[in-house]
Structure 1
């Protein structure tokens, strides 16, 4: 057995990823690479969107955390600078996120201090992380990326998060346990049937959120145990929700035909939230013997919603809406 040792050498980031938008961001968006970042932070991140427009800029990655809060990831393959710090703050305000993760080659002292200050002065529900990325290689071996946390909220650690999860699990109600088991089995079902739906980590809650490629718009799968109902729902949030809703309404008849059922269209004026949904009644979630049939229905309808709405959602542009048309739309629930 040879005792020959080699040296660990750092690899230039630009030799691995030439640019941030064309190379690094798509690489990080891949599930196995996003999982590496998740492990570093003690989170469970699910990708919601890439290159999300915010004013004159584009946010690199938008993710959903395990608690359904939104996480923004800003990438920089060089040392931190004031421009990216400004973008981070702009994205925080424009995308209604709870967590900001700023990844860079190296954090300068002034930017590290800025992130620490933001963590100090904002509420605990908002978190800012500074992450340095390095790539290592031994000899001619494969290259390995490494994320290092250099800035984080006060008292944050992966151990604290782990202990918190364990404590929460101990205090789940019977309903929450049933919800978590139902969604866990549904995730397994999607894997077995080979679905391309990217389902987030199952949680003890009534809903699961699926991204559809645009910030502030998602597909919800909702169970109501007490009222014995299932619901597939397109949810539009944010300042443009009503505009997007009416743009979609122009295709209402075509959408209903493609779904094969008449959907409920709910604008909910003043709430900055609009919904388009389908309900299945008389569904007893407590009857586990019926879960396979229930999961099959959910799978089919979720796939259908994604197929019918995805290309329309991607093409939505608030500037296409003519306010004069507003009064011509019929009233909806």
Structure 2
């Protein structure tokens, strides 16, 4: 970046207006726009970035990417591990991989490059282009209210990435249906709006990985225009696998087996015996086959070992190498403890 642009970027970490830069990836130069991304993470020493490609206007089939600092995750792998886990259990998930970032000749450390959830995300998966919304804050809880207070708007908490005003109205209709349909009719009505089996798959993934924020935040909503049904896509899953958003330990029972209470769609679905039974069956299967140390240990170690040489060159992480070295064992112990807790509480779903 030109020094004047870099100084402007640094001058206001909350400014979302992008600034020009030249980005070199594998010896190919791109003119890009760059801005900080994230909410509270912008105040960290190591910041995350949003990058849009200008000329050439595409990189690896994407016109924009996200570079996540993963600053509070001592392993730097939790986000990718989570998104790969979701993909493994059949949930639409963005692809990701780690990169080294050098800015104006200064190493800035390891970042996680995240695929943007947009029309190109759908195109790569041969899905019809349809409206996409980002859940940008905890108002995205599928309810009319939050913490007992009426929300300003039914679709408060959602930012439209792709779509128009008619799509906003469709989302309002979804929220209306969730909140006003009687118990007698709910199980027959909601499958006309939500792809239930995929939503329950997502619930299983969110409950296993234990992302406390992920139930009312950190996800995208996509409406398939061929079916008219909404699907949910996970996003920003660094505070998982036993770590809080600040990097501290999270007890294995922190999120109950029913998910976070604030998500009203989760709550209503689990009030219906047929959906509760379906969720329990899906969860049991994943606990037996996917969410196991046997299935995850090699993936954890492979990711961890691939990053270790680069950790030593990361100015923000190299002094914490001892903690980094212990993370595979920490994550595997979390899997054991979390799995045991969930199996012990399966009867609550009867």
TM bracket, shorter-chain basis: under 0.3
Question: Relative contact order: is structure 1 or structure 2 higher (C-alpha 8 Å, sep ≥ 6)?
Answer: 2
TM normalised by structure 1 equals 0.26
Q: Which has the higher strand share?
A: 1
| Max Rg structure | 1
